[in-house]
Amino acid sequence: MPLPADVPILVFDSVTKLPPEAAGAVVIGGSHAAVYAAYMSAKFGCRAAIHHDAGIGKDEAGVSGLAYADGLGMAMAAVATASARIGDGADLHERGIISRANGLAAACGVIPGMSARTAAELLKQAPWPHTMPPAKGESRYMVEGAACVDSATLLVPEDRGRIVATGSHGALNSYKATAPFQPLLLMFNDAGFGADRGGVLALPELAREDIAAIAVAAQSARIGDGRSTLQDGTISDVNDIAYRLGARVGGSALALARALAEKAE
C-alpha cells in the first residue's frame, strides 16, 4: 500500500505538551507508553504514536497505554528500554527497536524487532482522525504527607520542601521539569534503567541542585502512577543527597518517606 507522502513524522522528548502541528502527524515521543502519556498523545490529536516501553514493569504499566490507544482508534507502538534512552525522542528515532505494537499499529505492518524509524514510516497509513479521549481525572494526591503526582510536569510551587513521588521516569527532562520547584525529596520510576542508564540520569543532576532524588524499580511500581511509586516502590538508585537522608538501594520508598516525615515533626 502506498504511504501518504504528506504525513509528517515529528520527534519530541516528551508528549506532555505538543504543538498544534502534532495533530495528524506520526509522533515519536520519549515518554513512557503508560496510559497517561497515551492520553496526552491522543489529546493532542496525533495520528499515531511511538513511545518508550519503560522496561514494561509492574502490571505491564509501561505499555498499558497501547490498549487504551486502541480503544480510541489510535495506532501506537513502544520501543524496548534497552534500545534507546527514555526521555530522548531523537534517540528513540535513531536507535529505538519496537517491543510492542497495538492492534492498529500491527495492522499497519509494525512488528516487534523493527526499527522505530521504519515503524514511523508505516504508521503514516494509520487511521485518522480518531476518537478524542475523555478528560482525565485527578492526577495529584496527598498520601501520608507526600505529594503523589502521575507526571513530573504536575509539580506546583507549593511542593517546595515536600516529598514528591512522581509516576515519571527519571530521565534528564524530568530533572528540568522538577528542579525549579525545590522539593525535599523526589521519587521517580527507573524505567528499567535502559540504554545509557537513561531512566535515572536526572538523579545526579538534581544532586547538583542539592535536591534529594531516588528511583524505584520498574518491576516494583507502576510507571505513570505516583501513588504506586510511593506505596509499592523498592528503591533501585539514589543520589548523594538522598543517601545522606537515609535512602538505600533495596529499601522501601514508603518507609523512607515515613522516616523523613518523623524527622520533620
Q: Report yes or no: 75 and 48 within 8 Å, Cβ to Cβ.
A: yes
Task: Give phi and psi for 166, each to the nearest 5.
Answer: -105, 155
Give me the residue label for grid cell 518523623: 262
> Which class for 17: exposed (0-12), middle (13-18), buried (19 or more C-beta within 10 A)?
exposed
Q: Cell triple for residue 137?
A: 481525572
In order of 143, 182, 186, 236, the CA distances from 260 in angstroms are 14, 16, 12, 18
Please tell me the predicted confidence (pLDDT) of residue 136: 80
Please tell me the predicted confidence (pLDDT) of residue 1: 42
- List, for residues 7-66, the tens digit of each pLDDT value: 999 999 999 999 999 999 999 999 999 999 999 999 999 999 999 999 999 999 999 999
Please tell me the predicted confidence (pLDDT) of residue 210: 97
- List, for residues 194-236, the tens digit of each pLDDT value: 999 999 999 999 999 999 999 999 999 999 999 999 999 999 9
Q: What percent of the chain has pLDDT over 70?
A: 97
Q: Report yes or no: 181 and 155 within 8 Å, Cβ to Cβ.
A: yes
Q: Radius of gyration (Cα) for the chain, nearest Å?
A: 18
Cα–Cα distance measured from residue 206 to residue 128, given in angstroms and rounded to the nearest whole number: 40
**pLDDT class for 262, splitting at 50, 70, 90?**
confident
Residue 77 in this model has a pLDDT that exceeds 90: yes
pLDDT mean across residues, the chain: 96
Q: What is the pTM of this model?
A: 0.94
- List, for residues 132-160, the tens digit of each pLDDT value: 999 887 689 999 999 999 999 999 999 99
**pLDDT class for 5, splitting at 50, 70, 90?**
low
Instruction: Enter the DSSP assignment of 159.
Output: G
In order of 2, 224, 249, 257, the CA distances from 142 in angstroms are 51, 16, 24, 12
213: β partners: 186
Task: Give phi and psi for 103, each to the nearest 5.
Answer: -60, -40
